[in-house]
Chains A and B, each alone.
Chain A
Amino acid sequence: MFGLGLKKRNTQDLRNTPIPEGHHLLEVNDLKMYFHTEDGIVKAVNGVSYTLDRGETLGVVGESGSGKSVTSLTIMGLIPMPPGKVEGGDVLYRGKSLISMSEEELEGVRGNDIAMIFQDPMTSLNPVYTIGRQLSEGMRLHKGMSKKDALARSVELLRMVGIPNPEQRVQEYPHEFSGGMRQRVMIAMALACEPDILIADEPTTALDVTIQAQIIELMEEMQQKNGNAIIMITHDLGVVADIADKIMVMYAGSPVEFGSRDEIFYAPMHPYTWGLNRSIPEPEIGEKHPLTPIKGNPPSLVDLPEGCVFAPRCPYATEKCFKEVPPTYVTESGHYAKCHYSGNAEFVRANAPETSRTRKVAATPTEDERLKKGGRAS
């Protein structure tokens, strides 16, 4: 389709429209995405809610199959429907629903206002096109740039993400790049149209730690420069400790806990978050601490347990947990957890992990509190 007369897009960018009063940059309200398969209904995303503002970074943490990727693919409108179906809830971008948008409108948003970095840099690039051509595609499509301008901008982008000798590299093919360099190209591609929101789906999982550190540093730098919001999806609590402002912990399609970074790390309320904390070997200098793993395996999304989804693996589960779906317990700061006992301060104090990570959260108002009082980030 490229070169054969590119379809001219509506060049009006949604990101220039002001956020309506009382709304956030991105609002996800009780989103439900189910897949209708032969084996039954897979409840991949089951009631996810969060808000995101400009310049913020949301970390989405969870194990494989917890629905963290499907949530963001739903926001991007990249889930094939059928088998997927939005069974409820909405996603509002600058007050406009992404779920009820037409495919054409969505194409104007995707890759332009909201861009995505995929997990595997090896397979996300097209092997038969040069890097320059792949980088240009979005800019020609969304900005109506000429081939020449787009290529010049591509060189600039490659330089920005730290690829040496970009004038030459822009003419090369993906196989001539190493894994870390390809991920840099993916970042450059996502940033090409200066998106409002950058969704990064496990951007460093396929990379070595020294390269991972480079990529995270780059994403932070770009955020400071462009003021975009980031949704960072990862299974690595270390990565979110580095980069996130807010964290959502997901389990079996539901967010079990959501709060500011400090709240999740230093005052977690949900037994699953505690379990994750205790499962990670800590680089330590003193004595070795034994790991306390979470027993059992995650449930099948086709056949979710009755009551609390975590109950079968929860060491504190009572009869109530197996019968009743837990309510969402919300603190004043907006920190929430889906557990029958999160509201019980004594229970939380007695059972939360006693590691070096436990610390009193300062009593100063958090970002969420400030936002609740009306002062919204620009």
Chain B
Amino acid sequence: MTDSNILLRVENLCKEFPIDDGFIARRRGTVRSVHAVNDVSFDIAAGETFGLVGESGCGKSTTGRCIMRLTEPTSGKVLFEGRDVAKMNRAELKAMRREMQFIFQDPYASLNPRMTIGEIVSEPLVIHGTVPDKAERERIVRELLDTVGLNPEHINRYPHEFSGGQCQRVGIARAFALRPKLIICDEPVSALDVSIQAQVLNLLDDLQKEYGTAYLFIAHDLSVVQHISDRVAVMYLGNMMEYSDWKTLYAEPCHPYTQSLLSAVPIPDPDIQASRNRIILRGDPPSPINPPSGCPFHTRCPIAKARCSQEKPQLREVLPGHFCACHYAEPTPIKESSIELDAVTE
């Protein structure tokens, strides 16, 4: 990837949410905070799909929201086409958001129930004033509805008249209305049934091929992320643990967390399922209010050593383009979908 090709660059992004412990804590200056995102860096090239996976509470959604400045990052840089999003004023931010759109998780909650889907899809065009002519706007909206697989005749219907999958198509049409360069998809299919999920994934794929839009695809489902992404990053407790192209990450995961995460995904094939060597992690993820010292994963890691609780591992390039934040990680090929734990523990 050349530098000129880079659409979005995130550098050392941190986000802390202070907790209101009350008056005494404020007076004493002992206000605690939730470390939602901790020193996250990555970049996305034009037209690429970058997948962000992790369990609930790992900071993947907060990362997405910080990039659009829906929440203010605590520190770090978000460079969109070389310009720092954090330093933009209102007007610049508005102009930037024309290029960067969002698809939300809940298809019902993200559509205004009092607006017709025509109004919903045309709203970005109105706000940004790109198409002043009303008749022309309607023509574009009809075209968009047709593109996402909805009947353009339904332009005057309300969201409650549609199913979850159809509502998500409306959300996608709205995101594409301005032909943005980057769309942040925050769990766009996790509220949908499998047969509908596949429809929406294929639609996102087709639209990307047509318009060359880059996606930041945030999801907890590893199979979905693998299916759609070019490169995948794994997050845990606000930290980026590993990232690589989709093939390497799934075939040769380095980080013990990625390995256990992959082995925990049930594969819909009884034979593979029975022959797999599965790593079942003990316990729950620690609280992001009081994250463990050293490596955030050391409390559940099957290969943790003394050094892990003292020294925080930095992302290092284990193979070209394959980064991993673990002191001891080595690329471990998965043979026939089974993860060899022994190879790691040696």
Say if the beta carbon of B197 comes within 8 Å of chain A.
yes
Say if the beta carbon of A73 comes within 8 Å of chain B.
no
Separation of A265 and B267 alpha carbons in the complex (Å): 11
Residues of chain A from 100 to 146 with CB closer than 8 A to chain B in the complex? none
Say if the beta carbon of A371 comes within 8 Å of chain B.
no
Separation of A134 and B260 alpha carbons in the complex (Å): 34
Known: A282-B223, A283-B262. A64 touches B267 (CB 8 A): no
B194–A285 CB distance below 8 A: no
A297–B165 CB distance below 8 A: yes
A217–B269 CB distance below 8 A: no
Say if the beta carbon of B224 comes within 8 Å of chain A.
yes
Known: A208-B55, A288-B227. A293 touches B334 (CB 8 A): no
Known: A180-B284, A285-B334, A285-B337. A236 touches B269 (CB 8 A): no
Q: Min CB distance, B254 to chain A, in Å?
A: 16
Residue of B nearest to A355 (CB): B269
**B interface, by DSSP: helix, strand, loop or mixed?**
helix
Known: A283-B223, A283-B250. A292 touches B268 (CB 8 A): no
B198–A283 CB distance below 8 A: no
A237–B201 CB distance below 8 A: no
Separation of A298 and B194 alpha carbons in the complex (Å): 12
A213–B195 CB distance below 8 A: no
Q: List 6 A-B contacts (CB under 8 A).
A: A63-B194, A211-B284, A241-B267, A293-B195, A293-B201, A357-B268
Separation of A281 and B197 alpha carbons in the complex (Å): 10
Residues of chain A from 200 to 222 with CB closer than 8 A to chain B in the complex? 208-214, 216-217
A63–B270 CB distance below 8 A: no
Say if the beta carbon of A279 comes within 8 Å of chain B.
yes
Q: Min CB distance, B22 to chain A, in Å?
A: 19
A178–B226 CB distance below 8 A: no
Q: Min CB distance, B193 to chain A, in Å?
A: 4
Say if the beta carbon of A277 comes within 8 Å of chain B.
yes
Chain B residues with Cβ below 8 Å from A357 are 268-269
Interface residues, chain B, with chain A CB atoms under 8 Å away:
55-56, 163, 165-166, 193-199, 201-202, 220, 222-224, 226-227, 247, 250-251, 260-271, 273, 278, 280-282, 284, 334, 337
Closest 9 CB pairs between A and B? A238-B266, A293-B198, A281-B227, A279-B198, A237-B268, A63-B193, A208-B55, A294-B195, A213-B264
Which single member of A239, A242, A291 contacts B201 (CB below 8 Å)?
Answer: A291
Q: Min CB distance, B234 to chain A, in Å?
A: 12
Separation of A239 and B194 alpha carbons in the complex (Å): 14
Chain A residues with Cβ below 8 Å from B267 are 238, 241, 282-283
Which single member of A181, A208, A239 contacts B266 (CB below 8 Å)?
Answer: A239
Give per-residue flags for A348-366: 1 if the beta carbon is below 8 A from chain B beta carbons, else 0: 0000000011010000000
Chain A residues with Cβ below 8 Å from B251 are 285
Q: Min CB distance, A350 to chain B, in Å?
A: 22
Chain B residues with Cβ below 8 Å from A236 are 266
User: Which of B55, B260, B270 gathers most chain A CB within 10 Å?
Assistant: B270
What is the interface residue range for chain A against chain B?
Answer: 35 or more
Chain A residues with Cβ below 8 Å from B202 are 290-291, 293
Separation of A317 and B113 alpha carbons in the complex (Å): 36
A291–B198 CB distance below 8 A: yes
B193–A64 CB distance below 8 A: yes
Q: Min CB distance, B300 to chain A, in Å?
A: 8
A238–B268 CB distance below 8 A: yes
Q: Min CB distance, B271 to chain A, in Å?
A: 7
Separation of A62 and B334 alpha carbons in the complex (Å): 31
Chain A residues with Cβ below 8 Å from B223 are 280-283
Q: Min CB distance, B257 to chain A, in Å?
A: 9
Residue of A nearest to B55 (CB): A208
B196–A297 CB distance below 8 A: yes
Residue of A nearest to B269 (CB): A357
Q: Min CB distance, B264 to chain A, in Å?
A: 4
A284–B226 CB distance below 8 A: yes
B271–A280 CB distance below 8 A: no
Give per-residue flags for A289-321: 1 if the beta carbon is below 8 A from chain B beta carbons, else 0: 011111101100000000000000000000000
Chain A residues with Cβ below 8 Å from B222 are 209, 283
User: Which of A181, A211, A216, A291 gathers most chain B CB within 10 Å?
Assistant: A291
Give per-residue flags for A232-267: 1 if the beta carbon is below 8 A from chain B beta carbons, else 0: 000111111110000000000000000001100100
Q: Min CB distance, B261 to chain A, in Å?
A: 6
B198–A241 CB distance below 8 A: no
Which single member of A208, A216, A277 contacts B220 (CB below 8 Å)?
Answer: A208
Say if the beta carbon of A275 comes within 8 Å of chain B.
yes
A356–B250 CB distance below 8 A: no
Which single member of B227, B250, B265, B271 contacts A291 (CB below 8 Å)?
Answer: B227
Say if the beta carbon of A193 comes within 8 Å of chain B.
no
Chain B residues with Cβ below 8 Å from A19 are none
Known: A64-B193, A282-B223, A293-B196. A214 touches B201 (CB 8 A): no
Separation of A290 and B334 alpha carbons in the complex (Å): 22
Which single member of B198, B199, B265, B269 contacts A265 (CB below 8 Å)?
Answer: B269
Chain B residues with Cβ below 8 Å from A64 are 193
A279–B195 CB distance below 8 A: yes
Say if the beta carbon of A86 comes within 8 Å of chain B.
no
Since A63-B196, A284-B226 are in contact, a sample of 4 more A-B pairs with Cβ atoms closer than 8 Å, ordered by chain A residue number, is A209-B55, A210-B261, A212-B266, A357-B269
Say if the beta carbon of A79 comes within 8 Å of chain B.
no
Separation of A57 and B224 alpha carbons in the complex (Å): 27
Residue of A nearest to B268 (CB): A237
Which single member of A213, A241, A291 contacts B278 (CB below 8 Å)?
Answer: A213
Q: Min CB distance, B97 to chain A, in Å?
A: 30
Say if the beta carbon of A276 comes within 8 Å of chain B.
yes
User: Which of B198, B201, B223 gathers most chain A CB within 10 Å?
Assistant: B198
Q: Min CB distance, A214 to chain B, in Å?
A: 6
Chain B residues with Cβ below 8 Å from A292 are 198
Q: Min CB distance, A289 to chain B, in Å?
A: 9
Separation of A209 and B257 alpha carbons in the complex (Å): 12
A281–B224 CB distance below 8 A: yes
Chain A residues with Cβ below 8 Å from B282 are 214
Residue of A nearest to B194 (CB): A279
Chain A residues with Cβ below 8 Å from B265 are 209, 238, 283
Separation of A280 and B198 alpha carbons in the complex (Å): 7
